[in-house]
Structure 1
Amino acid sequence: MTLPKVAFIGTGGTIASMGATSLELQDYGASGVILQADALVARYPELGMVADVVPVRHSAVPSPNIDFADWKALNARCEALVAEHPDLAGIVIGHGTATLEETAYFLNLTAKVAVPIVLVGSQRPASALSSDAGMNLLNAVRTAASPGARGMGVLVLLNDEIHAARDVTKTATLRLQTFRTADFGVLGHADGDAIAFYRRPIRAVAPDTEFDIRGLDALPRVDIAYAYAGADGTAVRAFLAAGAQGIISAGFAPGMATPGDFAALQEAAAQGVVVMQCTRAGSGRTHKGKRLREAGFLITDNLTPQKARLLLALALTKTRDPVEIERMFLTY
């Protein structure tokens, strides 16, 4: 029996980290030991029972270090792997959970390969007693190799659950069930006997998107102004001074800023900065009511602030037309 070929790109994170002891579940980063892709694959020989895994060294860093340069490099690496291995069934990217959802959504907007891309992490380091690293990695490989994953865009796999990159977010600091899709639930499950899908994303997904970052050196600056009682616009004005071309207002649910922030955001919009109203709630749509319309603000649909920031930055590489930007937020 010929096993499917799946590439595993390692970027580091908890899934590749080694603590000082098997009981080090939180401060494992202090050891400074993060395995490269080939070492992590070698740690779990069971991977060879489900796929021909091609380990690809990329980086070995905590995920707060990830930024645009890494996303661009990951896109290029995925394209090179597909060109090098015409029989490649899918790609798995090991990633720290802190920014995993942002990397997944960014790739979902920009990747140009047709094979499934699955991001995987873990809540406990590879060295820990009862680590989730091995099973998560195995199930991510199985998911990437599954014919059912084709056409689903970039996926996220942790805790036996398969999520859409657009919708998933990390909801707990330590619990294994941290990744959740609040409004819609999982796409499917990685069970012992099968990769079982039950629904599909209906928003546009990679590779069928309009964004191409291959010729970009950087993204337009977009910042997030987080709402809290008494916020007086200081952060918004600092973002303006730093050269922000877009600002996401992570407002109170269902999408409101304090008077101080609202006034500063109006100043930003008057200066040509694209201001978009979001909510800090983590779930639910924002509504473009009269007050937002009159202020010239746009809305982010139901995206979380961190994902709305990415989509706006990519939108600004193509247009500043508010109608076009709103179309993109309804498309992706």
Structure 2
Amino acid sequence: MTTRPKVAFIGTGGTISSRGRDSLDLLDYTATDDRLDAHAILDAIPDLRTIAEVIPVAFRAAPSPAIGFAEWRDLVRQCEDLAAEHPDLAGIVIGHGTATLEETAYALSLTLTVEVPVVLVGSQRPISALSSDAGLNLVAAVRAAAAPGSRGRGVLVVLNDEIQAAREVTKTSVARLQTFRTPDFGVLGQVDGATVRYYRRAERGHAPGTPFDIRGLDGLPRVDVSYAYADADGTAVRAFRDAGARGLVSAGLAPGMAPPGEADALAEAARAGLVVVMSTRAGSGVVPLTTRLRQRGILSADNLTPQKARILLALALTRTREPEAVAEFFATY
């Protein structure tokens, strides 16, 4: 008899746990505020128990816009506890709402302390919906987490039978099932039935073994994102400074610019001692570290989206405020 792999499932809420008013409620299901915990989700998808010994872990059932640093820290601790309690654990799956799934995935990919694969999974349709993707997405995530080939790849994101890297993936559509994409590089692999296949690796550094330890922190340094648009005059940048920001990320105009008023405000912030990083609202591509950016004391986010650049900058600021050292973190992670 084949031994089933042991996989922990942590439920944090989100669409994958949500129940709408009826099976045709695909868009307004959050109005019910009805979400299943990890145990109830497993009961609703009994097929999971045929492919793995799944350990349900109740975390807290929240909509993903309510998830941030405190949950990231507690998930790091939870994963550490699970790995210690179950030495034979093959992997960990975290159910999560899709709105901020990519941010949680990247934060965990920089801060986890465990060696076992950690996979984040969500769904575009609530678990109660006709033709919901929740069940099959969770099956695929459990299979990916249990696969030996998933070890050493950092945090993974699995939806729609595709395996993506936490650093690279982003949500690209409000309602389509193929919403999670990696614009520049494509998927790492795929889950086809019981087969988990990989075709490439993400090259940037990831946990465990990073210098970022959030287990004992009460919070991260404040880092805000300023969105660039025609005629932006720096009002948001100055407001963030006044609110106590220690770092700023510009969601700049591609390939990494801001309107004159905004650019002046960013340069003023850098001269005042804030660490300022230029990303782009384009959604893909590397921001070149141009002469103009250097002259203004602004760093490049490499190809990180603004929301992920914010996470890395906040973590970097727990280690250093030297721009050169922060730049090295962006080149490494």
- Structure 2: tracts of 5 or more residues without a match: none
Question: Per-residue displacement from partner, 1:6-41 (whole Å, max 9, x unpaired)?
Answer: 000000000000001000000001111000000001
The alignment status of 1:289 with 2:261, answered yes or no, reads: no
1:186 aligns with 187
CA distance in 2, matches of 1:227, 1:213: 30
Structure 1 segment 137-216 matched on structure 2, within 5 A: 137-216=138-217
2:221 aligns with 220
Query: Is residue 300–residue 327 contact of structure 2 (8 Å, CA) maintained in 1?
Result: yes
1:243 aligns with 244
CA distance in 2, matches of 1:48, 1:58: 20
Structure 1 segment 105-124 matched on structure 2, within 5 A: 105-124=106-125
SS of 1:104's equivalent in the other structure is helix
Letter in 2 for 1:214: R
Question: Per-residue displacement from partner, 1:76-121 (whole Å, max 9, x unpaired)?
Answer: 0000001111110000000000000000000000000000000000
Letter in 1 for 2:328: R
Letter in 1 for 2:124: Q
**TM-score where L is the length of structure 2:** 0.99
CA distance in 1, matches of 2:280, 2:229: 11
Q: Which runs of 4+ in 1 moved over 2 A?
A: none
Structure 1 segment 1-332 matched on structure 2, within 5 A: 1-332=2-333
Question: Per-residue displacement from partner, 1:44-93 (whole Å, max 9, x unpaired)?
Answer: 01001110000000010100000110100000000000111111000000
Letter in 2 for 1:87: D
Query: Is residue 74–residue 215 contact of structure 2 (8 Å, CA) maintained in 1?
Result: no
Give the aligned CA root-mean-square deviation in angstroms. 0.6
CA distance in 2, matches of 1:202, 1:237: 36
Query: Is residue 143–residue 194 contact of structure 2 (8 Å, CA) maintained in 1?
Result: no
CA distance in 2, matches of 1:249, 1:163: 25
CA distance in 2, matches of 1:303, 1:143: 25
Question: Per-residue displacement from partner, 1:232-269 (whole Å, max 9, x unpaired)?
Answer: 11100000000000000110100000111111111111
**Offset of residue 210 of structure 1:** 1.3
Question: Per-residue displacement from partner, 1:268-305 (whole Å, max 9, x unpaired)?
Answer: 11110001111010100001111111111111000000
Query: Is residue 20–residue 34 contact of structure 2 (8 Å, CA) maintained in 1?
Result: yes
SS of 2:292's equivalent in the other structure is helix
CA distance in 2, matches of 1:50, 1:193: 9
Q: Percent identity?
A: 65
- Structure 1: tracts of 5 or more residues without a match: none
SS of 2:59's equivalent in the other structure is strand
Query: Is residue 144–residue 191 contact of structure 2 (8 Å, CA) maintained in 1?
Result: yes
Letter in 2 for 1:86: P
**Offset of residue 193 of structure 1:** 3.7
Question: Per-residue displacement from partner, 1:197-226 (whole Å, max 9, x unpaired)?
Answer: 111111111112111112211100000000
SS of 1:212's equivalent in the other structure is coil
CA distance in 1, matches of 2:268, 2:194: 57
SS of 1:308's equivalent in the other structure is helix
SS of 2:129's equivalent in the other structure is coil
CA distance in 2, matches of 1:178, 1:50: 26
CA distance in 2, matches of 1:265, 1:31: 43
SS of 2:10's equivalent in the other structure is strand
**Offset of residue 324 of structure 1:** 1.1
Letter in 2 for 1:93: I
Question: Per-residue displacement from partner, 1:136-172 (whole Å, max 9, x unpaired)?
Answer: 0000000000000000000000000000000000000
Q: Count the aligned residue pairs.
A: 332
Q: Mean alpha-carbon deviation: is it higher for 209-218 or for 153-162? A: 209-218
CA distance in 2, matches of 1:49, 1:318: 45
Letter in 2 for 1:89: A
CA distance in 1, matches of 2:224, 2:29: 31
